[in-house]
Each structure stands twice: as structure tokens, then as C-alpha cells.
Structure 1
Amino acid sequence: MNIAWMTENTAPVGKRTVASGLIIGFANIYAVYASQIYQPWDAPRYHVGNYIILTFLGVTLFLWLGQKNIYIYLNKTRAAIWKGYSEDDKAHYNANTKHQGSERLDFTFKT
């Protein structure tokens, strides 16, 4: 789900490719140390391992909510700027802008 959300909100293709590679790479790195969380000495209830997983969950939730709020803020800011443009200004922007993908004023992040 994280990869799908990230690819929907990353444009152009070059940025999307790098971001996909990074997220998949970090997921694979996580698998290396995740196998070390639940240790035999912590059996049978695995208190330490469960606390580590809950900490990861909390940090992930915090980062996800932060990213979602950033996307909402950017959508509102861009919508206000775009709404302030006249039809001529919008046409001029579309014809002459150097912005691509998620840098464009008319791009909307999926939240």
C-alpha cells in the first residue's frame, strides 16, 4: 500500500523510479534486521520484540500522518493559488511552465 500511495503522488517518471527503488530497498533492508527482533532469550512472550515492533508501528503512523498532512496542506495551497488565476493566466501557465509532474500547480496529491 505504501508503494502504491507513493507512486500515485510522485511524478514525473524519473522521480517515481528513484522513489520506488528507495522504498523497495529500505523494505529489503528492514527484512535483514527484522529477523533479529524476536530472540530465543525473550521467549515465550517476546516482550522486548513486541515493544520494538510497537515502536516501529508508532513511528510509522506518526510519519504517515505527517506526510498526509503535508499533502493536504500542499493541495490547499496550490488550489488557492490556482483559483486566483484568471483563465488567461492558467492558459499562459500551461503553455509556458517548466514545472513537471508533482511540481505543477494543477497537480493534486492523493490523500
Structure 2
Amino acid sequence: AEAVEAAILPVVRNCFDRDPDIAPCTVDEPFGSYVERDGKYAKRIVYAIREMFGIEFAPAVVLADGNVQKLAWRICNAKEVLAPYSMSRSKGSATPAAQEFDNET
């Protein structure tokens, strides 16, 4: 989770326009009230998470978590829960992409 925290903190800061008054400086600094006042921030964070991790959260999830640390924990849990359903070849034999198909000619 710490690697995810380190990866998303600068991205979340960018989502807040790097405004020192509202962008979190640490992973446990709350940002909930700013997200609540202006929905564009939550939408930006949702978009960034989807692009980085392939997971789509509702903007309300960003608001509910309220800081980077909790958001990183949620991302890690979501990745773990969804791993068996991933089409990625790197996720082990439980995925459909890992099946070998015979090419009959």
C-alpha cells in the first residue's frame, strides 16, 4: 500500500491544481471538505485512478475516504479482489487469458 500511496500522492496533488491551500502534502492529510465543495476534484481523482490502476470508483468514494492513505488501501483491496477476474497474463492461472489453446491446422 505504501508504493500505491507514493504513486498517487503527486497525482492527487495535481488533481487539486497543486494549490498549497487544498492539495494534501502527506498521505494522511485530509482532503474531504475540498472534494465535497467542488466535485471536479473528485472526478479528476477518479479519472486518474482509472487510468493508473484500471479501477473505477465513484466520486463519492473519494469523498468518503478523505485522504490518500485510505484511497491507496481501497485501491490495493480492489486490485486483490478483482485479480481472479483480470484478463492480464500476469495474474496467474485463474485468469481466462492464461489458458492455452491448441491451434489445429
* TM-score with structure 1 setting the length: 0.29
Larger Rg: 1
* TM-score with structure 2 setting the length: 0.30
Q: Which has the higher contact order (CA 8 A, sep 6+)?
A: 1
